[in-house]
Structure 1
């Protein structure tokens, strides 16, 4: 039995869809905080179990009988460590043979504010004695392609990323990586996963220009000015801080990668930026 937590999120749904091409539905269970949101997954034949990261009493039943568990990191920044720790304890009690965790690229050395909770979770997993694999995912292409409307409206992308390169890949690429470690023998405990073709924000702007026929520029701003732009657009201060922090570290090269591990793990090239932009504009 393979149990996928956080299965109603974007990544979780993709993982389940791809798992179903590899293993029978009867061997898959999905854990969701709101099982009603997983009705479409139930219709595919997988078992739906209620599991709330913040309610440890739900996690034991959710992982019962699991041989392998995919722990998709919580979306609740600031609460991730206790939530993830509760899942790890449940996995240990269930004697799972493999716990796969979606971490962040270069977690061992990353200085991103978002990395701290991933680093702490990795430490909890290592100390648990549960066999594990860390899927250290880089940035999603969708982080950019799902938010193009302001750039198209105003003719500019803004940020504080400088000339830093971003080795992003599509959610589907990371989903295929998760399926690979859940359905094959794991070769090592840590995978640094990133796209094949790193790009700068200026190159993203150029690609948008090419595909839309409009001139889209990239305006690189000092961090405080970028934060003001985000807050002016309605983003809460805490979220704006994380966006700015990420760009500052992009500028320092912390979301770049040339290892090719994602490509090798999934057995194909990762999704190119141009294809992701084309798909987004075609919606």
Structure 2
């Protein structure tokens, strides 16, 4: 039995879609906050169980009879470590044989503020005694392409300088997570998951120009100014600051890796950024 936390989210649903290619639906458990809102999963034959990252008892109940858990990192930045700790405690209490955790690329050496909670979670896993495997995910291509319409109108703005970004499509990371769940002998492995073909934001702007036929340029601005732009676009100040810090980290190589772990796991090249741009357009 495999349990997916955060199963109603974008990544969780893609992982389930991949698992269904090789795994009977009744061996998949979707752990969600609101089961009544996920009737479509139940209709596929998947077990849908209520679980909340903040509620240890709900997590313990959801993990009854579970062998493997995919711990998809919480979306609540600032609350992740205690929430992930609850999942790990529940797994320990119920005798789970493996936790696969979606961490961040180069977590052990990363200077990104965003990495801090991932590093804390990795330590919780190491101290727990529960066998685990780390899926250190790089940036999603969608982090950029969801704003492609704005980029077409105003250009690409950021503070990543000439830093290279080893992004891949969310679907690529989902396929990798599913592959690890169905494999045996994964305990103790660390996968640095990154796109095959890194690019700078100048190259990203050029790719948008090529795909759209409209000239798009990249404007590099100071980190503080970029954070203000993000706030102006509607992001909370704290999260905007974290994203701006991540871009500065990218300028120093923090979101780059030449690892081929991702394409090796999924058995094909990762999705090129041009394809993600086309999908967004």
TM-score where L is the length of structure 1: 0.97
For residue 147 of structure 1, report the CA deviation from its aligned partner. Answer: 1.5
Shift of 1:143: 0.5
Q: Secondary structure at the match of 2:31?
A: strand
- 1:90 aligns to what? 90
User: How big is each residue's C-alpha offset from its partner over 1:213-232, in whole Å with a ceiling of 9 and x where there is no partner?
Assistant: 11110000011221222222
Counterpart for residue 153 of structure 1: 153
Q: Distance in 2 between matches of 1:87 and 1:213?
A: 47
Distance 1:228 1:279 in 2: 28
Q: Secondary structure at the match of 1:169?
A: coil
Q: CA deviation at 1:261?
A: 0.9
Residues 15 and 175 of structure 2 are in contact (CA less than 8 Å); yes or no, is this contact kept in structure 1? yes
Structure 1: where are the runs of 5+ without partners? none
Cα separation, 2, equivalents of 1:225 and 1:76: 24
1:266 aligned residue: 266
Structure 2 CA distance for aligned equivalents of residues 268 and 104 of structure 1: 22
Distance 1:146 1:39 in 2: 27
1:162 pairs with 2:161: yes
Q: CA deviation at 1:233?
A: 2.4
- CA distance in 2 between counterparts of 1:228 and 1:76 reads 21
- C-alpha deviation, 1:186, in angstroms: 3.5
Matched, 1:77 2:73: no
Runs of 4+ in 1 over 6 A off after TM superposition: none
Residue 170 of structure 2 corresponds to 171
- How far off its partner does 1:176 sit? 0.9
Deviation at 1:207, TM superposition (A): 0.7
Matched residues in 1 for 2:234 and 2:126: separation?
Answer: 39
Matches within 5 A, 1:69-218: 69-154=69-154, 156-187=155-186, 188-218=188-218
Q: Which moved more, 1:252-261 or 1:227-236?
A: 227-236
What's the CA shift string for 1:142-166, capped at 9, x where partnerless? 1011121211122x11000000000
Range 31-40 or range 76-85, more displaced: 31-40
Point out where structure 2 has 5 or more consecutive residues left out of the alignment: none
TM-score, scaled to structure 2: 0.98
Q: State the distance in 2 between where 1:31 and 1:208 align.
A: 37
Secondary structure of 2:259's counterpart equals coil
Deviation of 1:258 after TM superposition, in Å, equals: 0.5
How many residue pairs were aligned? 280
Q: CA deviation at 1:234?
A: 2.6
Once residues 233 and 22 of structure 1 are traced to their aligned partners in structure 2, the CA distance between those partners, rounded to angstroms, is 41
2:148 touches 2:277 (CA, 8 Å); kept in 1? no
